[in-house]
Copies of this chain bind each other. A is one copy, B any other.
């Protein structure tokens, strides 16, 4: 039945592509009038518009993007380059990209960039061949050419990173502030110091969290204790928890992500320590939701959607005006939980 329906369609709909010319001919007007109708120009008589619209419907006309872009010199599209698609927060960031793009009538073009070498240049040249007006690069680690990179002329480039770049706008979560919040929160609750479970050294955000932890402690006159280096997995958090369980000075642990925080709790428990009675634990990312329903992990929640929106807004919102270089950091929100107790 369905195929019958298709056959009944006017022949023109099967043609390679229906252009303004076809519509103009059928409606008995000029191509320009068709174009004006498409853009709902006020200088076309309502009845003419209706006639043109009817012709468009009959032929199944849809404007050709290439012709339009060629004419306008704009694609109304923002490219997003990622070295890794998978990654904490990427889905939320994409939600943000899509939302902001939508708002401005833009589309998002997603590209995976090979990370060998891990350079902004490779992301940029990959994008240069695509129909985009601007680009966003999601950086996870330090590109080899970060200092020397120049964005393509005419291609507004926004980096998602906490590092500031002289020629590109940047936006990210404020990882330093995240650590500051956590450390001060724990100190306020009476802990004398805060131990830290870190992450692999190539992670930019992880390193920034480490800095924040260290410097905040120092700002409070506390010499940071030896940190334990993890690898983002709960497994490594478990080991860290076991190691820290024997340290009598350890009453509060700050883990660089939630998985390690959970692992750490298990590791502590396996050594007979209770959370939060004996030790307080705080994570980062709020990535696990309510998976352990009987105990809500204290953590920091980031608004990655907002980060994504800011990046695309910066490009799609500029609309011709010479865009200045801006740097934006959004603070996270500390989410209290059942894994911290007052130490006083």
Contact = CB atoms under 8 A, between A and B. Distances in A.
B70 A16 contact: no
Interface residues of A, number: 67
Nearest to A236: B293
Contacts of A267: 293
Given A60-B153, A85-B98, A167 B293 contact: no
Contacts of A73: 16-17
A238 interface: yes
A178 to B, nearest CB: 21
B237 A266 contact: no
A156 to B, nearest CB: 14
B266 A234 contact: no
Given A107-B130, A112-B99, A85 B94 contact: yes
A42 interface: no
Interface of A: 2, 5-6, 9, 13-14, 16-17, 60, 62-67, 69-70, 73, 75, 77, 80, 82, 85-86, 90-92, 94-95, 97-99, 102, 107-112, 128-131, 150, 152-154, 166-167, 233-235, 237-238, 259, 262-263, 266-267, 270, 288-294
